[in-house]
């Protein structure tokens, strides 16, 4: 069954190769690009299958040599070769099973990153700023583009919340496991007696929705404009440029005041709203929850944490997989070097998917 499915896919791949050489397909750019994309998606699977088949062929040849009347020295070499080839075949088979897993349709998408202070007051707000810097530095390392869509500063230089778009190559596939409650343990700058406090911050990674993903009826929106304000309530500008968009059917509300232009603030607010509606739609499809975004961030309570940043012990621990960074590696992680932990999370979830397949 496993091999038959792979052979069927190989035939589809070969048909696509032939189709891409046909003049009528080349003339139809939409069809050509669609066929090219499908061909590129199948290529890693087909190439791995062909390597697997070649290893199996070599394995059969070495096993046949053992049945022949040959010198013992040659048979010893054949046995070594058989052990090596069995290892290669096993690794390739596991890789093939991973490649056959259903693709997450959102993996290629850009994302909206939403970070909000949970329990912990001003210290939580300061950690929101720290986490935003961490993800911004990660984005720089991968040459992704970060654009702040909305933010709400706190009194001591922290952030009550921040929403940003991150665009680039397969951003969602890399960041999707970052959603949840991030707990921080450290001595706050506001603590005069050196006591360690525990605070929590929620992170949500939402796939950025295109207009084709979510259709918004303008009649279902209430749009209010108001004057932008900064920390402490002082006026940022003298025009009513801030925008609040309410989606009446769901009650979702998005506000944006970072731009001086009402038009730009409205465009950014609609961008956030569209992604939240897509997230809500996907959650309903999977029957996970009735409340929008709860699966990602919970209530912001410390007990729901997915990761803890312990500054006194210089340790970051991801509780889902028991993975930890210590000392200088923790400092590097906070500076955006998260690839190792992201890869560990990806491997963990792939293993779970294989077990359930």
Q: Give pLDDT, residue 357.
A: 64
pLDDT in tens, 70-86: 677 787 888 889 999 99
Residues 55, 89 contacting (CB under 8 angstroms):
yes
pLDDT-derived band at 2 (thresholds 50, 70, 90) equals confident
Stretch 126-130: mean pLDDT, rounded?
95
Whole-angstrom Cα distance, residue 308 to residue 277? 30
Q: Residues for the chain: how many in total?
A: 357
How many C-beta atoms surround the C-beta of residue 179 within 10 A? 21
Is the confidence at residue 67, as pLDDT, over 90?
Answer: no
Q: What are phi and psi of 289, to 5 degrees?
A: -150, 165
Domain definitions of the chain by residue range? 2-100, 111-212+296-356, 218-285
Q: Any idea which residue has 């929590």 for tokens?
A: 200
Sign of CA dihedral 266, 269, 273, 274: positive
Average pLDDT estimate for 34-54: 91
Tell me, what's the pLDDT at 74?
A: 80
Query: pLDDT at position 293, please?
Result: 47
Residue 249 pLDDT > 70: yes
Distance of CA 72 to the CA centre of its chain: 54
CATH architecture assignment, domain 111-212+296-356: 2-Layer Sandwich (3.30)
pLDDT in tens, 294-328: 555 555 554 568 999 999 999 999 999 999 989 89
Residue 233: pLDDT band (50, 70, 90) is very low
Q: Does the pLDDT at position 232 exceed 50?
A: no
Strands of the 305-310 sheet, one edge to the other: 145-153, 159-167, 111-117, 197-207, 180-186, 305-310, 315-318, 323-326
Find the mean pLDDT for residues 233-246. Answer: 69
Question: Is the CATH number of domain 218-285 3.30.160.20?
Answer: yes
pLDDT above 90 as % of the chain: 46
CATH class entry, domain 2-100: mainly alpha
Burial class from Cβ neighbours inside 10 Å (0-12, 13-18, 19+) for residue 234 reads exposed
Please report the DSSP string for 324-335 in residue order: EEETHHHHHHHT
Average pLDDT of the chain is 86
What average pLDDT does range 181-193 have in this prediction?
A: 85
H/E element holding 341?
helix 339-356
pLDDT higher than threshold 60 for residue 236: no
């Amino acid at each position: 069954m496993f091999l038959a499915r792979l052979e069927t896919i190989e035939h589809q791949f070969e048909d696509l190769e032939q189709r891409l050489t046909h003049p009528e397909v080349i003339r139809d750019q939409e069809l050509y690009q669609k066929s090219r994309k499908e061909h590129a998606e199948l290529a890693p699977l087909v190439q791995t299958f062909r390597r697997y088949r070649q290893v199996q062929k070599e394995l059969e040849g070495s096993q046949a040599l053992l049945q022949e009347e040959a010198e013992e020295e040659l048979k010893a070499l054949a046995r070594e070769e058989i052990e090596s080839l069995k290892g290669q075949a096993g690794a390739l088979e596991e890789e093939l099973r991973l490649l056959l897993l259903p693709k997450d349709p959102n993996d290629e998408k850009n994302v909206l990153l939403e970070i909000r202070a949970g329990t912990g007051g001003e210290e939580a707000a300061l950690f929101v700023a720290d986490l935003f810097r961490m993800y911004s530095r990660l984005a720089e390392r991968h040459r992704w583009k970060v654009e702040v869509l909305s933010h709400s500063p706190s009194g001591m230089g922290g952030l009550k919340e921040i929403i940003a778009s991150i665009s680039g190559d397969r951003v969602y596939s890399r960041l999707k496991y970052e959603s949840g409650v991030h707990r921080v343990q450290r001595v706050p700058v506001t603590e005069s007696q050196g006591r360690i406090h525990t605070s929590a911050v929620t992170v949500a990674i939402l796939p950025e929705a295109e207009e084709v993903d979510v259709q918004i009826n303008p009649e279902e929106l209430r749009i209010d404009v108001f004057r932008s304000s900064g920390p402490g309530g002082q006026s940022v500008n003298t025009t009513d440029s801030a925008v609040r968009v309410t989606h009446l059917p769901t009650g979702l509300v998005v506000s944006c005041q970072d731009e001086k232009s009402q038009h730009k603030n409205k465009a950014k607010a609609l961008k956030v709203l569209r992604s939240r509606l897509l997230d809500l739609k996907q959650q309903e499809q999977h029957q996970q929850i009735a409340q929008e975004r709860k699966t990602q961030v919970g209530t912001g309570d410390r007990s729901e944490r997915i990761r803890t940043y312990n500054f006194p012990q210089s340790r970051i621990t991801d509780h889902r997989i028991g993975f930890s960074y210590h000392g200088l590696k923790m400092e590097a992680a906070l500076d955006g070097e998260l690839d190792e932990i992201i890869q560990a999370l990806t491997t963990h979830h792939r293993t779970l998917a294989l077990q359930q397949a």
